[in-house]
Amino acid sequence: MPQLYLEALSTYASDIDNLILLIAVLVGFWFVLCEGIFFYFIFRFREKDGVRTEYITGENERHKRWISYPHILVLVCDLFILVGAIQVWYDIKQHLPEPHETVRIVGQQWAWTFVHPGPDHVLDTADDITTVNELHVEVGKVYHFKLEARDVLHSFSVPVFRLKQDAIPGRIITGWFEATGVGEYDIQCAEICGIGHGLMAARIFIESPESHAAWIAEKSPFQLAVTATASTIED
Amino acid sequence: MAEIVKPQTDQPESAQAHDAHAHHGEESFWSKYVFPTDHKMIAMQYMFTGMAMALIGGFMVYAFRMQLAFPGIDVPLYGVVTPNRYNALVTLHGTIMIFWVAMPVLIAAFGNFLIPLMIGCDDMVFPKVNRLSYQIFLLSAIVLVVSFFVEGGGFGGAWTAYPPLSAKAEYSQTGLGSSLWLVAVTLEFIAFLLGGINFVTTAMNARAPGMGMYDIPMVVWMIVIASVLFMASVGPLIAGAVMLFMDQNIGTAFFDPDKGGDPILWQHLFWFFGHPEVYVVLLPAMGISADIICTFARKQLFAYKTFLYTTFGTGVLSFTVWAHHQFVAGIDPRMANIFTVTTLLISIPIAEMCFIYIATLYGGSIRLTTPMLWALAFVAEFMIGGVTGIFLGASGADVYYHDTYFVLAHFHYTFFPIAIIGTFAGFTFWFPKMFGKMMNETLGKIHFWGTIIPFNCIFIPLFMLGSAGQHRRVYSYENFPDLAQPQFQDLRVFATISLLVMLGFQLVFFYNCFISWRKKEKDAGKNPWRSNTLEWVAESPPPHGNFPELPHCYRGPYEYGTPGREEDYFPQNLPA
């Protein structure tokens, strides 16, 4: 169960955790039942002197019921899991809510490049903020990401969001997330991408609106230019 | 035309060989041990080559698990595991264990040894094709091992070999290693295509008189179905392998997006084969367990026909689930819904087969010999692999679990029971038939518990690490602050120590094999387990030609506890 080990910090993270819990309960029931009967039979029907085995072919209906009824119950459990799985999947991958901001994420051997839209909140303008291995997002805002790869396959994985999406060279894949809590966490590359795969570590900084605004102000190309000019004048 | 005529020319040839028993004694060392056509000797060649490869694969896992537990350590007997060596080690560990251990041992070794003996004939229908199959297989194994030592090192793009990483030397840094890897895999597939033709033809056409379709022992059925699945699924992958080889070496661009190719095409070709492949190795292990469980529970296999038709159903369904490996790979998200449905459907036949094993035990008279322990452990452990698969087949949960250690632990809970537990089950069960001598039961049980307990101690922590978001194929987690926390490192160390314990206990197995094989007296007799199937009618070990007189089959393979009979078993060859 992921929530035992790390926080759930996106709007759909708890949906995934609940789906995992649902599956765990249903398959856990069958698992305990099957293993329980299996071991019970092993102990109960150990070889004893003078006791002959029962001759059961399992071919008549009266006996076959013991496997055909459970079989229907398994099908019912599968239906529950199916509905849950498709619902969660639809919300994450198929139905993208309207974004507040859009970021570009580019994987290459062996670093992540993040292009933030900057003060004007529009991507591909002069004030975009480009960083390497650092993604800064604001809590409570819907982000779309445009995921690209330069060379080989990579996979953009943020465990606290429960999010994963492969990046494919030659394609731009759009996905979304909305963070629900602040903090600093791992971003991994989850698809083997060569010798430096184990070095392809990035961090996500989920910030409050104030500190995110401060970060944008500090890093925006315009602000950097002003700072640089000011220091030149001072010299 | 020549191919069509061949079966008719080959079979009399082997039948003649059988008639002329005296002639066999004169076989030279070369024709008996190095270039044999006898199915039992070819089985031994496959068995020992597979076991030798298992030792190599096991050594690799030792090296990279040491690196994961103690990053940067100078691993005894290996040295420092650098990132490119790490990638090559995990890639070749996966490739070897599936293609050079599970396949040759479960399909080729047991198939070759058991099919002619269990259906009561003297040899494979195409003995020379059989010999060619092993020779190509041996060549493929040599090419694979050599690829590890060429300039640039072995291929390090994982056993799935996704392009563009596998397609271009500038990305993988292992140009020659990648090409040799592909050549080895392709040769290996050709070897198993030849073997598969033999298994299916022999089992369908050379059965003993009186042996109907429902009298065939389940393990033979399973190997036949597995061979059909393999032959039907491997074509696209061989085509893909040729395309990838051309992309690597002559500048084609089947998988190169810059020139109009598509890297995801490879994933479809690979997994269209790759998922049926899971069942290709699973089914023989299931058949081996079914036979052993029936023998030592002294019971009929519960609902033989249901088991058989369920297997057919599983086989057909296994061709419709492949894209569950690609949910987050960039395919159209709507496709995931279809593949979630098919994947969850396949849980039904597999659950049914587990129910059948359990039902078979009911009312039995169970004797816990070493082979029986292995067979029961196969069922018990495989169930863990089965139920954890549901988490991954459900698309919504796979968004998180994909490519984490949860996946790794899940498929080791399927492949380890299949390839390792299944092999030990079959090997200890048929050892008396193979060598005419019994293995030591005490040592067998020590080896069993010394393998099963550490096995669980290795992989349960990996489920936990996977749930914590630890992704695969990373040589050191020190670069990921969330994963580098000490409580996670403790789990890695625990898993590695358990591995060392498990590897250590394998010495008991080899010692047991050695002392049992060295025994002077052939103490097994023809039928030490009081089993029903036809291989137990032959001498132990069976001579070239197998049976002094080809047996006749009168009944199904699992007639234990038949009412009105003094003995609690009823061999297939005894007249009523």
pTM: predicted TM-score of the whole model, two decimal places: 0.93
Among B158, B396, B404, the residue with its CB nearest the CB of A85 is B396
Question: By the 8 A CB rule, do B473 and B87 touch?
Answer: yes
Rounded CA-CA distance A124/A151 in Å is 22
Q: From chain A, pick out residues whose CB is under 8 angstroms from the CB of B363.
A: 45, 53-54, 56
**Residue A49: pLDDT band with limits 50, 70, 90:** confident
ipTM, two decimals: 0.94
List CB contacts (< 8 A) between A96 and chain B: none
Kindly list the residues from chain B whose CB atom is less than 8 angstroms away from the CB atom of residue A53. 297-299, 363-365, 560-561, 568
Average pLDDT over residues B261-283: 95
Mean pLDDT throughout B253-266? Answer: 94
Q: What is the pLDDT of residue B10?
A: 42
Q: What is the pLDDT of residues B472-527, one digit of tens each?
A: 999 999 999 999 999 999 999 999 999 999 999 999 999 999 999 999 999 999 99
Predicted pLDDT of residue B31? 82
Q: pLDDT digits over B188-197, tens only?
A: 999 999 999 9
The residue ranking higher by pLDDT, B26 or A133, is A133
B119-136: average pLDDT: 95
Judge whether residue B460 has pLDDT over 60: yes
Residue A34 sits at the chain B interface (C-beta within 8 Å): yes
Predicted local distance difference test score (pLDDT) of residue B35: 87
pLDDT tier at B28 (50, 70, 90 boundaries)? confident
Tell me, yes or no, if A50 comes closer than 8 A to chain B by beta carbon.
Answer: no
Residue B5's pLDDT is what?
Answer: 37
Q: What pLDDT score was predicted for residue A234?
A: 60
* Smallest Cα distance from A46 to chain B, Å: 4
Q: What is the pLDDT of residue B543?
A: 93
Give the pLDDT confidence score for residue B1 in this predicted structure. Answer: 32
Nearest to B341 among A5, A82, A194 (CB): A82
Residue B87 is predicted with a pLDDT of 95
Average pLDDT, chain B: 93
**Nearest in space to B81 (alpha carbons), one of B505, B501, B496:** B496
Is the CATH code 2.60.40.420 the one for domain A101-234?
Answer: yes
Q: What is the pLDDT of residue A233?
A: 65
How far is A30 from A76, CA to CA, in rounded Å?
12
For residue A18, the model assigns a pLDDT of 96
- Answer CATH for B42-537 from 3.40.470.10, 3.30.300.30, 3.40.50.300, 1.20.210.10: 1.20.210.10
Report the pLDDT value the prediction gives residue A221, as an integer from 0 to 100.
Answer: 74
Structural domain boundaries of chain B? Answer: 42-537
Would you say residue A134 has pLDDT above 90? yes
Determine the pLDDT at residue A92.
95
Asked if pLDDT for residue A77 goes beyond 80, the answer is yes
pLDDT tens digits for B133-143?
999 999 999 99
Q: Each residue of A145-186: pLDDT tens digit?
A: 999 999 999 999 999 999 999 999 999 999 999 999 999 999
Cβ distance of B387 and A19 shorter than 8 Å:
no
What residue of B is the nearest CA neighbor of A76? B348
Mutating which of B314, B338, B471, B560 best tests the A interface, going by the most A Cβ atoms within 10 A?
B471
Q: Is the pLDDT of residue B13 over 50?
A: no
